[in-house]
Amino acid sequence: MTPRALLRLAPLVLGTSIVPLDGMVNVAFPAVLEAFGLAVPQIQWLVICYVLTYGALLLAVGRIGDVLGHARVFRFGLAWSAAAFIACALAPSYGWLLGARVLQGVGAALVLGCGPALATALYPEAMRVRALAAYAAGIALGGAVGPVLGGVLVQWLGWQAVWGVRAPIALAALWLARGMAVPARSGAREPFDLPGAVLLTATVACAVLAVNRAPAAVSLVLAGAALACAAGFAWRSARHAHPIIDVALFRRPGFAALNLASALVQFAGFAVMLLVPFHLARGLGLSPILLGLVLLANAVGSVAGSWLGGWVAARFGARVAAGLGAVLSAAGLLMVGLGGPLGALVAALLVQGLGLALFTLAYTDVVTATMRREDRGVAGSLTQLTRTIGVVSAASLLTLLFGAVEAARLGAGAAPEAAFGAAFRLVFLVAAPLPLLALLALPRRGA
């Protein structure tokens, strides 16, 4: 892909970068906890309020983009996000901040739900995997900048800056995207299934909250509600000419398994951004800037993995790329769990980021190729949804595991630093095998 061709992606990558730049928030976790006098387990709500919101809305937004135009919905999402970032930066209390994170999640859904579809629409179909690889690499680059920029902002300006700095970025992308040239959709506009969208959104929201609240009794109520909404959505989709997503897709050989594999890999991978910042700040005593520089290794691996993934998938097939990514991700997580000097941790983060990006690119290409071109918004949203399910589940279950182990060690008389270290290592040793389980879920043929 020539540099001139890559320039067409610039407004799209800049606009979508406001989402991976949320890695700055992970660097700010310790400062947010201190500012509002919170305990470590409470930080999960800063993740859940945001990720649950955009995850529940993604497929519906993708369908809206397919109906109304991806560029139009993308630009609206940028304007909405700019306002949400300002609300987060001005938060006077933790409750206010959580509410503003919900608004930020709406904006993220509007942007992410149309990003992959726009990336493929800007180029001929023969360039699909290369367009997705370039788009993913650009987004990963935004993730690479996030931790370092976040460390500088938190140390010099305070935690509020990790949100405030993104408002002008969103507005700049909105201005650049005003003339984005996207081929017009052929044929008549298909109707939008609003009842189906409501049922699907409720299904995702209740399912994720059920995982979050386990093992409390309310999780059973939420799980029941999720099943009821899912049944209603399936019934509605079977009777609607243009459903939000065709549920028959999941009966194709390997398609449902591939989506399960994605959720597993993303679940395991989020352990890095959830707990490593605390290990660097508490266990190693690093400043926010140094903390961000260490986390940069993970993002650099993601950039390299996105570019490499396009080549591996085109040459050897998406299944090989996904399998290699799963193995590398597992290896990186195991290296973190085994511990060692700071240099070993940097290497582990690099390997894990490389593997996660390889897997994600291959998975995205398969899903995009499987669905109709008219449903590219839904296809891109589905890839984001499996990531969201993995991330929110990890934020809930891995935090629960970490808290239980740390409390048990403290109860046994261990020093706080030793209890934290033991819980940290165990979480990563538990997470490391999960990407390998994803290998069993990959389709044996296809891709």
Residues 88/101, Cβ–Cβ less than 8 Å: yes
Residue 320, burial from CB neighbour count under 10 angstroms (0-12, 13-18, 19+) = middle
Q: Give yes or no for a contact between 349 and 336, defined as CB atoms under 8 angstroms apart.
A: yes
Q: Record the pTM.
A: 0.75
Residue holding tokens 């996207």? 182
Distance CA 211, CA 189 (A): 37
Q: Which of 32, 409, 14 is nearest to 180 (CA)?
A: 14
Rounded Cα distance between 26 and 273, Å, is: 6
* Assigned CATH for 8-177+244-441: 1.20.1250.20
Query: Which two three-digit tokens encode residue 119?
Result: 């990336």
Q: Greatest CA separation found in the chain?
A: 70
What is the C-alpha end-to-end distance of the chain, expressed in Å? 22
Residue 21 has, within 13 A of its CA and on its CB side, a CA count of 25
What is the predicted pLDDT for the residue at 188?
62
The per-residue pLDDT for 223 is: 92
DSSP state of 7: H
d(CA 62, CA 55): 11
Which pLDDT value is given to residue 182? 63
Q: Label residue 99 left, alpha or beta by phi (over 0 means left) and psi (-120 to 50 means alpha).
A: alpha
pLDDT tens sequence across 234-290: 899 888 878 888 777 787 777 888 888 899 999 999 999 889 988 998 888 888 788
Residues across the chain: 447
At residue 193, the 3 state secondary structure works out as coil
The Cα 218–Cα 212 span in angstroms is 10
237 Cα distance to chain centroid:
26
Tell me what pLDDT residue 334 has: 97
Q: What is the mean pLDDT of each run of 10 residues along the chain (447 residues)?
A: 70 90 86 87 84 85 86 93 96 95 95 83 74 79 80 90 96 88 62 87 87 81 94 88 79 80 92 89 83 85 84 82 94 94 94 94 82 71 80 82 93 92 95 90 56
Nearest in space to 55 (alpha carbons), one of 345, 391, 368, 356: 391
Per domain, the residue ranges of the chain are 8-177+244-441
Query: For residue 447, what pLDDT is reported?
Result: 41
Contact 144, 303 (CB under 8 A): yes
Secondary structure class of 225 (helix, strand, coil): helix
CA nearest neighbour of 433 among 243, 271, 252, 214: 271
258 contacts 440 by C-beta, under 8 angstroms: no
Alpha helices in 317-373 (DSSP H): 318-338, 342-370
Token digits of residue 157: 């300006």
Q: What six digits make up the tokens of 381? A: 């949203």
> For residue 162, which amino acid is it?
V
